[in-house]
Amino acid sequence: METQERTINRLETTALTKGLMARYYEDLRNSKRDGVLLGWTTGPVPFELMRTMDLRFEHLESYGAYLAARRGQDKLKRLSEDDGYSVDVCSYARLTQGVAMLEDMGDTTSVSPELLVPKPDFMLGVNACQIMGHIYDFHHRLFNVPGFMIDCVPTWREEDFERNVAFTRKQMEKVVTFLEELTGRRFDYDRLKEIMGRVKEAALLRVECMELSKNFPSPMSFFDHLISLGPMHVWRGTPESVEYFKKLKAELEIRVANKVGTLSSERHRLYFDNLPIWFKLGAISEKLGSLGTTIVAGTYTHRCFYGYEPENIDLDDPMDAVARELTYLTWIFANVPYRISQIAQIVNDYHLDGLLIHSARTCQIFDIGQPDIIDQIERKIGVPGVIIDGDPTDPAYYSDAQTETRLEAFVESLDARVK
């Protein structure tokens, strides 16, 4: 495969996320000053309910991704490891454990202050995986603040889905009681409806952006979708979130009209499964770009964060949508046959010719079934796949040379299929 220089055309709108995320973390750091309660959260917790109560919230996984690309993460992980936690423990968890330990020690100098989030006033968690439960316990014991753990039942069978939605919903109602007791205020259901309206509006716009990315050449990559998660994640339910996706959609429409793609020359379009390798997004997209290859869609971006049928969000019953979203995440990740069916559908819809699957060393629950996914997709729709080894945030489990060799060899094998 000849590596010619190809530039990746970056979207202007995605640059806005930098400011949004900086503002989000600044708000977290200023919680005490502003007299707003701050929660530390783990797993797919209902941000909408906390937003309804005007609470601020840190979120373990997005915080881990934020820390991953920044200097000082070694120090944070080291604190967790020094405390006896294995290097194989979820790297998101180890990073935030480090932050928690620094906060507990009152150490504000070992890492840059922008990396730190103040001690929580409350905790909210979902035991979406075993580690989430343990990390919640760790923080809860350390800070000894009020907390609520949402019990989440993985949906192994399709016929259990509605039953599990009902179970999650009951938990959500308990979360409301918890938040009311925490704040001493009544939960405003009309406010929730209003927030959910914005969630739906942003989610629908995001789906329209996904639809536009089906074009040839694709105007938006999986990497752009990843960068755009902040507005649909910790910012969801806000006017800023809706505004962001309006701008993004408008920019994509111009690109489509002018036939401008992420790559100036797009030869192959891939699918990405599993969590991203946050600290290597640039390197992987550049490497693939140099091979005339782009990643157009992925499970994480296209099925999570209200990516699945947001048109069904019932604004007259916003609690249902909140419960449904959380339950859906346990279905897409726990149920491999369902995940395979969704991947096959997306691969067909987006006209993709290969799967790139990340085997995340410290997130083994999401790694379940990867060889089966590759075999089944190849068998069902004749699209091949390759696995790359890495980790969401820990560079110790990643090798540039090995990844590059796999990507090049995979693209070369796609080229050979085309011939």
Partner 1 sequence: MIVAGIDVGSLTAKTVLIDETQKILASSIVLTRAKSRKAAQEALDKALNLAGLKAGDISYTLGTGYGRENVPSPNSTLSEITCHARGAFFLIPEVRTVIDIGGQDSKVISIGDRGNVVDFNMNDKCAAGTGRFLDVMAHALEVDLNDMGKLSLQSKKEVQVSSMCTVFAESEVISLIADNCDIADIIAGIHTSIARRVGSMVTRVGVREKVVMTGGVAKNIGVVKALEKELGVTITVPKEPQIMGALGAALHGLDRAIKEAAGQ
Which residues sit at the interface with partner 1, rule CB under 8 A? 1-3, 359, 371, 384, 386, 389, 397-399, 401-402, 405-406, 408-409, 412-413, 416-417, 419
Shortest distance (Å) from residue 378 CB to partner 1: 8
How many Å apart are CA 194 and CA 171, to the nearest integer?
21
Give the separation between CA 180 and CA 53, rounded to whole angstroms. 8
Distance CA(32)–CA(119), nearest Å, equals 10
Shortest distance (Å) from residue 307 CB to partner 1: 30
Q: Which is nearer to partner 1, 2 or 159 (CB)?
A: 2
Give min distance, CB of 418 to partner 1, in A.
Answer: 11
Tokens of 382: 């004749």
**Residue (121 or 367) nearer to partner 1, CB:** 367
CB of 412 to partner 1, least distance (A): 4
Least gap, CB of 190 to partner 1 (angstroms): 53
Q: How far is CA 239 from the centre of its chain?
A: 20
Q: One-letter amino acid identity for 346?
A: I
C-beta closer to partner 1: residue 124 or 414? 414
Taking the least distance from each CB to partner 1, the nearer of 186 and 419 is 419
Nearest approach, Cβ of residue 119 and partner 1 (Å): 36
Are 412 and 1 spatial neighbours (Cβ–Cβ below 8 Å)? yes
**Of the candidates 136, 148, 408, which has an alpha carbon nearest to the alpha carbon of residue 289?**
408
Q: Least Å distance between CB 375 and partner 1?
A: 9
Which tokens go with 125?
């968690």
Strand partners, 149: 125
Whether the CB-CB separation of 244 and 20 falls below 8 Å is answered with yes
Cβ distance to partner 1 smaller for residue 233 or 268:
268
CB 246 within 8 A of CB 33: no
Query: With 0-12 CB in 10 A as exposed, 13-18 as middle and 19+ as buried, what is 260?
Result: middle
In the bound complex, what is the minimum distance in angstroms from residue 410's beta carbon to partner 1?
Answer: 8
Q: Which is nearer to partner 1, 282 or 371 (CB)?
A: 371
Q: Rounded to an integer, what distance in angstroms lies between the CA atom of residue 397 and that of residue 118?
A: 29
CB contact at 8 A, 29 and 116? yes
Amino acid at 351: H
Give the separation between CA 122 and CA 214, rounded to whole angstroms: 42
Pick between residue 100 and residue 388 the one whose CB is nearest to partner 1: 388
Nearer to partner 1, 317 or 404 (CB): 404
Q: Which is nearer to partner 1, 197 or 384 (CB)?
A: 384
| Least distance from partner 1 to the Cβ atom of residue 404, Å | 8
Distance CA 275, CA 273 (A): 7
Q: Any residues with CB less than 8 A from the CB of 55 and at least 6 apart, and which? A: 36, 37, 38, 39, 122, 179, 183
